[in-house]
Chains A and B, each alone.
Chain A
Amino acid sequence: MKFTLSWLKDHLDTTETLDTISETLTRVGLEVEAVEDKAKALSAFTIAYVIEAKQHPNADRLRVCMVDTGSGEPVQVVCGAPNARTGMKSVFSPPGTYIPGKDITLGKGVIRGVESNGMLCSAAELQLSEDHDGIIDLPQDAPVGQPYAAYAGFDDAMIEIAVTPNRADALGVSGVARDLAAAGLGTLKTPSVAAVRGSFPCPVDVKLDFAAGDEKLCPAFALRLVRGVKNGPSPEWLQARLRAIGLRPINALVDITNFMTYDRSRPLHVFDAAKVHGDLTVRRARAGEQILALDGKTYTLTDEQVVIADTEGVESLAGIMGGEASGCDENTVDVLVESALWDPLNVARSGRALGITSDARYRFERGVDPDFTRPGLDLATQMIIELCGGEASEMVFAGELPESGGAIDFPWSEVKRLTGLDLPQVEMKLALTSLGFHVSGAGERVKVAAPSWRSDVEGKADLVEEILRIAGLDRVEPAPLPRIKGEVVKPVLTVLQKRTRQSKRLLASRGLVEAVTWSFISHDAAKLFGGGSRKLVLANPIAADLSDMRPSLLPGLIRSAQANADRGFGDVALFEVGQVFQSDEPEGQLIAAAGLRRGTARLEGAGRHWDGAAKPVDAFDAKADVMALLAGLGVPVGGLQIVAGGPSWAHPGRSGTLQFGPKGVVGTFGELHPRVLKALDVKGPLVAFEIHLDALPLPKYKPTKVKPKLALSDFQPLTRDFAFIVDKTVAAGDMAKTAQNADRNLIAETSVFDIYEGAGVEPGKKSVALAVTLQPVEKTLTEAEIEAVAAKIVAEMTKRYKAALRG
């Protein structure tokens, strides 16, 4: 919403400065977005008289001017303008002046050997126009020494405010003035509107043609003819105002409607009566009806839109934009002026559907003052007669104005309850009444009725806001929020929230870098990772490749890794901990943790090094990451199974599934499937893991924080090595587990320390070497006891894996 200072002063009697006015606007909730004050910006530029302009001794195209600036001795100025001449009046700026058109601050200078103490300026240098052909040439009666901006009428500052959707009333200058007056910045002086007495019946009738229940689409419609007008350019003051707020003056009749829109937030429409056929009907459009609107575009309508039609067809889009066919131009003699009320919701929907934004729509969808429907028409009529002449008809009025809302039962104590601010009743009452509210009753509880232009006010809290914003939010003293129970805070994070946070720090400490990638990915990528369900496809994605809610973090990470590789950083290790989507229900949203390593980005470092180059990453790097994550999170891994293979995105022979039983799958690690890499157009080596943090078993609840007792043995542990020949397909991890379980009392640890295939081992077989550590508990073990455990291990291996001890 834009307006000028002089426009504001039509409604507000004030002596306050522009700065105070701007500050107050923001303070009461009409946030100032811009103030354009040419008078201030150009205050150093004054009118000057060129006593003499003569040729520069050393430059053909320069002149040396002696200038009377109106303050003492003449000033010598070197000037390059072709029109600089003796006896002219122009605009002078002394050294030290900021020249907006050139973005420089003027200094004293010597130009080709001649001193120059200022500048004579062009309109372009003052940023007043594009004209830089010469210096400004002023009439002879221009007063020397006076500020140029005031002389030229540029001293009307333009103010732009942001108006929140609840404040339709502040979309008119009168409404803005009312807020300022209420805030103590002067007196509201918006003139009241006298009713216009028509001298003849309006020849055009209006019918509101709506089905029962649809009446709210147009509650009221006022119309009047003004005949015998002379339409042409509007007067300069009106044109200047419209130009100042960025509107293009068109002709007096149209300019008057625009003026009313901004002055009183009352959009109107004018029809050229000669182009209207028969009476007007306000109705829903018929599907397929078309209108060429005033913006020069043709719109095809549906029955969702409301129109004003005559016997020939649609003449205007209700509350949004008029039609070209019945528009007013310089030939208009008889003009029909409309002031109507429209359903905000319908105007908003229609405007959206048709893609039209207009000043009328902007106001109607926020709600214009219903009680100003008639006065609005009268005021416009008066302006038309004043500016264009003519004679007014009687008013035709169809429908009826809506009842105003009931009064609000308001205890003054509500202000203190909600804000903590203790204000005198008289101040609160004054704030409300000066905003147009009607306060009745006395004492602690009163009835407050909102004015017709404040349809947003519906309850006590709204009244508190009105009082508060006029009093000033700065008057509310900050009050410490007491602790709920006055004690040291209890932990607030849930197990999942803690695990989410810990996961990030754990993975980062393994050299992985946290990425935050889009929650939406391409449909194709979603399908590759088990997603793509219709319910998770956006109807209006911002880009075609950001259409599906991600079923996995990996597509985003893979894409990012490739982007880094394309920039020359191929050895990247990334992770993300975030939401993935299995359905559109809240339970379908899980928290996943995923890590990815590309190239040679291994835990110990990437790339070549004097101590040995890093190998390309393999599935075990991903396994190490995920196992470290589970261990770091303190997940009880007793029941964890690692099953060969994974989902379709994983390499079938180089991946594993992590599960707590067949139904307790928590994640996957391994190499990406070559087919998936190809489909995503990325290059490996690329290994990754992903687990769902929600699926991990919870830590066991313990009544105390006491750790289990530490039992240390006094006896030395001893290690026995075994090498078994087994089929290549036997899982060494399983063998280690079996060995570990052969004697739960004595075996403390089992490790796989060598895997060998090749010479000396039959084809199709491999040698698996296990180191088994025995921890005696009660006494040193005898050789016989050790042999007994060893025999047990060998027997289990033979039985389960058809293993043979390697000779």
Chain B
Amino acid sequence: MNEIDTLRDSLVGEIAAAQDEAALEQLRIAALGKSGSVSALLKTLGAMTPDERKEKGPLINGLRDGVQQALAARKEALGEAALETRLAAERLDISLPVREGPEARGRIHPISQVIDEITAIFGDMGFAVAEGPDVETDDLNFTKLNFPVGHPAREMHDTFFFAPDANGERKLLRTHTSPVQVRTMLAQEPPIRVICPGRTYRMDSDQTHTPMFHQVEGLVIDKKTHFGHMKWVLEEFCKSFFEVESVKMRFRPSFFPFTEPSAEVDIQCSRKGGEIRFGEGDDWLEILGCGMVHPNVLRNCGLDPDVYQGFAWGMGIDRIAMLKYGMPDLRPFFEADIRWLSHYGFRPLDLPTLTGGLSS
């Protein structure tokens, strides 16, 4: 063994035994520092003859490289060990619950959700959304809609009234959203395609009736839309809304003052264990009323019934929400019980679209 090998063995052994970065630095200085042992050998190269240098140069440079590698390797090993020690100490109880985020707590009321669903479907068929005031005149709520003064049909609507004004005229809370149809026809030239969702009011209160409820009506007026178009629109709506492949609907002749011919529509369903399913079964469930707009209503709105024609329909938003989502009772819709809202409500980003599906 020559002197260089001995020095290498000694240095590499000490480096491998170094226990921390400080000791390692000490060793680096002792070997490669200005007056280090390896540096001293390197300095001797200058005084050598070319032949000596040729012989010793690679050996001494090799020694330097070897020591440097040993230092780097040990430094890496010490760093790894230190990290392992730190990681062993850094422990969280990740089972601890985090706070539920606001987007998990927030809810959309089923009525808003269902209105969005209805709007998505009819929007695709080119229907705009028309709105009108809840406080209406007798003329727009009844007379223009062909409810003669004193006619028993008015009694079917248990109406909320306000006190009469100086002229003896009293305003009322609209009993249906049909006055919005009248307002639309008075304001707009055909072709008309609108839906009118909104709050409506009747003096009624039991499991399926509340003094305030929500209706959506629709109106199509042009020069050629007939009863067959109405059937198609309503069937397509029901399929789309209830998210079923097919529905069977039954149109029964009925009576509404503002349509002629009029029909009530039942939808076929099955009832199993308190759950209603559409597109199957052999029960019928009444779901909406509809008809061709009455010539008197068209005339009252300044349209010639021999030129213009069309259809209208109406249904309870709360009711179809109950049918689709299974709420057994209407009254809690308006009681704001946080338990009910959290259960039957919808998540903030459950935005109904036709492309993504109405419900998730």
Q: Which residues in A have some Cβ–Cβ distance to B below 8 Å?
A: 26-29, 31, 164-167, 344-345, 348-349, 352, 365-366, 416-421, 459-462, 464-465, 468-469, 473-474, 476-481, 483-484, 489, 492-494, 497, 501, 504-520, 534-542, 546, 549, 556-557, 560, 563-564, 567, 569, 572-574, 577-579, 581, 584-586, 588-589, 603-605, 609-611
Q: Contacts A464-B260, A589-B134 hold; do A516 and B333 have CB atoms under 8 A apart?
A: yes
Q: Contacts A476-B228, A581-B135 hold; do A165 and B99 have CB atoms under 8 A apart?
A: no
Report yes or no: A27 in contact with B252, Cβ–Cβ below 8 A: yes
CA distance A246 to B33 in the complex (A): 119
Report yes or no: A505 in contact with B348, Cβ–Cβ below 8 A: yes
Q: Which residues of B contact A609 (CB under 8 A)?
A: 99
CA distance A31 to B334 in the complex (A): 32
Q: Which residues of B contact A477 (CB under 8 A)?
A: 228, 231
Secondary structure dominating the interface of B: mixed
Report yes or no: A481 in contact with B162, Cβ–Cβ below 8 A: no
Q: Contacts A474-B251, A513-B107 hold; do A419 and B112 have CB atoms under 8 A apart?
A: no
CA distance A164 to B106 in the complex (A): 45
Report yes or no: B103 in contact with A579, Cβ–Cβ below 8 A: no
Q: Contacts A479-B226, A511-B106 hold; do A564 and B338 have CB atoms under 8 A apart?
A: yes
Q: Which residues of B contact A164 (CB under 8 A)?
A: 254-255
B191 at the binding interface (Cβ < 8 Å): yes
Partner of B129, one of A29, A493, A557: A493
Q: How far is the CB of B133 from chain A (nearest CB, A)?
A: 4
Report yes or no: A514 in contact with B150, Cβ–Cβ below 8 A: no
- The size of the chain B interface, using a CB distance under 8 A, is 92
Q: Which residues of A contact B351 (CB under 8 A)?
A: 505
Report yes or no: B129 in contact with A589, Cβ–Cβ below 8 A: no
Instruction: Name which of B16-24, B54-62, B78-86, B119-127 contacts chain A.
Output: B119-127
Partner of B161, one of A539, A557, A604: A539
29 A-B interface contacts by CB (under 8 A): A29-B254, A165-B153, A166-B255, A419-B227, A461-B260, A461-B292, A473-B251, A479-B231, A479-B232, A481-B125, A492-B119, A504-B112, A506-B348, A516-B109, A534-B163, A535-B162, A535-B163, A536-B135, A539-B162, A540-B160, A540-B161, A542-B211, A567-B339, A573-B105, A574-B336, A584-B135, A584-B162, A586-B135, A604-B99
Q: How far is the CB of B293 from chain A (nearest CB, A)?
A: 9
Partner of A567, one of B111, B127, B337, B341: B337
Partner of A586, one of B105, B132, B334: B132
Report yes or no: B227 in contact with A345, Cβ–Cβ below 8 A: no
Q: How far is the CB of A622 from chain B (nearest CB, A)?
A: 15
Instruction: Name which of B34-42, B45-53, B69-77, B199-207 contacts chain A.
Output: B199-207
Partner of B126, one of A489, A569, A572: A489
Report yes or no: B126 in contact with A420, Cβ–Cβ below 8 A: no
Report yes or no: B112 in contact with A418, Cβ–Cβ below 8 A: no
CA distance A507 to B341 in the complex (A): 15
CA distance A519 to B111 in the complex (A): 15
CA distance A511 to B342 in the complex (A): 11
Report yes or no: B160 in contact with A418, Cβ–Cβ below 8 A: no
Report yes or no: A539 in contact with B170, Cβ–Cβ below 8 A: yes
A-B contacts besides A515-B341, A516-B109, 11 pairs, CB < 8 Å? A461-B294, A476-B227, A477-B228, A481-B125, A492-B127, A511-B103, A513-B341, A514-B108, A516-B111, A572-B338, A579-B199
Nearest to B341 among chain A residues (CB) is A513
Q: Which residues of A contact B199 (CB under 8 A)?
A: 519, 578-579
CA distance A31 to B309 in the complex (A): 27
Q: Contacts A31-B254, A420-B228, A579-B199 hold; do A538 and B162 have CB atoms under 8 A apart?
A: yes
- The B188-232 residues at the A interface (CB cut-off 8 A) are 191, 193, 199, 201, 203, 205, 211-212, 220, 225-229, 231-232
Report yes or no: A481 in contact with B220, Cβ–Cβ below 8 A: yes
Report yes or no: A518 in contact with B135, Cβ–Cβ below 8 A: no
B13 at the binding interface (Cβ < 8 Å): no
Q: Which residues in B have some Cβ–Cβ distance to A below 8 Å?
A: 96-103, 105-109, 111-112, 116, 119, 123-129, 131-135, 149-153, 155-156, 160-163, 165, 170-171, 173, 191, 193, 199, 201, 203, 205, 211-212, 220, 225-229, 231-233, 235, 250-255, 260-264, 292, 294-295, 305, 309, 333-339, 341-342, 345, 347-349, 351
Q: Which residues of B contact A578 (CB under 8 A)?
A: 199
Report yes or no: B348 in contact with A538, Cβ–Cβ below 8 A: no
Report yes or no: B163 in contact with A569, Cβ–Cβ below 8 A: no
CA distance A26 to B253 in the complex (A): 8
CA distance A349 to B109 in the complex (A): 41
User: Which of A164, A417, A462, A481: most chain B Cβ within 10 A?
Assistant: A481
CA distance A514 to B161 in the complex (A): 29
Report yes or no: B100 in contact with A605, Cβ–Cβ below 8 A: yes
Report yes or no: A560 in contact with B99, Cβ–Cβ below 8 A: no
CA distance A626 to B248 in the complex (A): 47
Q: Which residues of A contact B305 (CB under 8 A)?
A: 461
Report yes or no: A536 in contact with B253, Cβ–Cβ below 8 A: no
Q: Which residues of A contact B235 (CB under 8 A)?
A: 478
Q: Contacts A165-B151, A476-B227 hold; do A497 and B100 have CB atoms under 8 A apart?
A: no
CA distance A478 to B116 in the complex (A): 25
CA distance A573 to B345 in the complex (A): 14
Nearest to A168 among chain B residues (CB) is B152
Q: Which residues of B contact A474 (CB under 8 A)?
A: 250-251
Q: Which residues of A contact B347 (CB under 8 A)?
A: 508
Q: How far is the CB of B212 from chain A (nearest CB, A)?
A: 6
Report yes or no: A468 in contact with B253, Cβ–Cβ below 8 A: yes
Q: Which residues of A contact B152 (CB under 8 A)?
A: 165, 348, 365-366
Partner of A459, one of B124, B171, B295: B295
Report yes or no: B253 in contact with A469, Cβ–Cβ below 8 A: yes
Report yes or no: B261 in contact with A514, Cβ–Cβ below 8 A: no
Q: Which residues of A contact B205 (CB under 8 A)?
A: 542
Report yes or no: A484 in contact with B153, Cβ–Cβ below 8 A: no
Q: Which residues of B contact A513 (CB under 8 A)?
A: 105-107, 338, 341-342, 345
Q: Which residues of B contact A546 (CB under 8 A)?
A: 211
CA distance A416 to B193 in the complex (A): 22
CA distance A26 to B165 in the complex (A): 44
4 shortest interchain CB distances as A-B pairs: A511-B102, A29-B253, A420-B228, A164-B255
Report yes or no: B102 in contact with A514, Cβ–Cβ below 8 A: no
CA distance A421 to B231 in the complex (A): 12
CA distance A461 to B202 in the complex (A): 29
Report yes or no: B337 in contact with A563, Cβ–Cβ below 8 A: yes
Q: Which residues of B contact A605 (CB under 8 A)?
A: 99-100, 105
Q: How far is the CB of A59 from chain B (nearest CB, A)?
A: 39
Q: Which residues of B contact A464 (CB under 8 A)?
A: 260-261, 292
CA distance A420 to B201 in the complex (A): 35
Q: How far is the CB of A252 from chain B (nearest CB, A)?
A: 32
Report yes or no: B107 in contact with A497, Cβ–Cβ below 8 A: no
Nearest to A420 among chain B residues (CB) is B228
Report yes or no: A564 in contact with B336, Cβ–Cβ below 8 A: yes
Report yes or no: B335 in contact with A349, Cβ–Cβ below 8 A: no
Q: Which residues of B contact A28 (CB under 8 A)?
A: 253
Q: Which residues of B contact A574 (CB under 8 A)?
A: 336, 338
Report yes or no: B263 in contact with A515, Cβ–Cβ below 8 A: no
Partner of A167, one of B112, B129, B165, B255: B255
Q: Which residues of A contact B170 (CB under 8 A)?
A: 539
Nearest to B125 among chain A residues (CB) is A481
Report yes or no: B212 in contact with A518, Cβ–Cβ below 8 A: yes
Q: Which residues of B contact A520 (CB under 8 A)?
A: 211-212
Nearest to A468 among chain B residues (CB) is B261
Report yes or no: A492 in contact with B123, Cβ–Cβ below 8 A: yes
Q: Which residues of A contact B226 (CB under 8 A)?
A: 416-420, 479
CA distance A220 to B165 in the complex (A): 38
Partner of B102, one of A459, A589, A603: A603
